[in-house]
Homo-oligomer: A and B are copies of this chain.
């Protein structure tokens, strides 16, 4: 099915002297980056360096906004109103755009982080707040999501939605992820992960937790880099995709190709 796909990872998630993940390794593998914007991770210096490196390598720049929660790495529900969420997203998206503009380019996608990312999938008020923020700032912005409230709200707001495939997670029959609380939710076997990924991208199918195949149409794959094994696996996924004839390209190109094919 899909012959072009984007590979994306969370980047720039250090803060000051702290680092998380091996950004330089990942930048050789991915075609797009979800860049932390200072609320759960990232500071202006790290954002500047990360954007500069993405520009140099032709990696697509995405905003990875979060609840304002450095101590909790964006994993906590801060009890914010939808209006506060919208303002926080406008602030972070704008800030990242500052660095992109400095290089004569712009942010091409938006992918909410952590708990915010979980909540926009199920809370319609948060989803609409984020989709409206994105659409009014730049109607060419691509929203990265799984199926859920954010994807619905973003489409309604006239935005392109890129569906992200999570290569190391089990899926349910309705296309959502098996919750982490259930056994088998997270996959660990590299061979199995690579095989599923290829099938997801090349055949548009995934075997879900019940054993049945479902159709899946993903535009980007989320890769990890927070341990040496993860980087190695990401590298392998990239090379196997290329061997299978899949083209790796930044998200904007993937969406363009899709539009032309439609």
Contacts and interface: CB of A to CB of B under 8 A. Distances in A.
A96 B87 CA distance: 11
Interface string A140-175: 000000000000000000000000000000000000
Interface residues of A, number: 47
A196 B18 CA distance: 32
Contacts of A15: 15, 18, 70-71
Contacts of A18: 14-15, 18-20
B136 A101 contact: yes
Interface stretch (A37-45, A214-222, A239-247, A252-260): A37-45
User: Oligomeric state, in number of copies?
Assistant: 4
Contact of A44 (B73, B88, B99): B88
A228 interface: no
A78 B19 CA distance: 23
A94 interface: yes
Interface of A: 14-20, 38, 41, 43-45, 47-48, 68, 70-73, 76-80, 83-84, 86-88, 90-99, 101-104, 133, 136-138
Given A45-B84, A76-B78, A77-B79, 18 more contacts: A15-B70, A16-B73, A18-B18, A18-B19, A43-B71, A44-B87, A44-B90, A45-B87, A47-B87, A48-B86, A48-B87, A48-B90, A78-B79, A79-B79, A91-B99, A94-B98, A94-B101, A103-B136
24 contacts: A15-B70, A15-B71, A16-B71, A17-B20, A17-B72, A18-B20, A43-B71, A44-B87, A44-B88, A45-B84, A47-B87, A48-B86, A48-B87, A76-B78, A78-B78, A78-B79, A90-B102, A91-B99, A94-B94, A94-B97, A95-B95, A97-B97, A97-B98, A102-B133
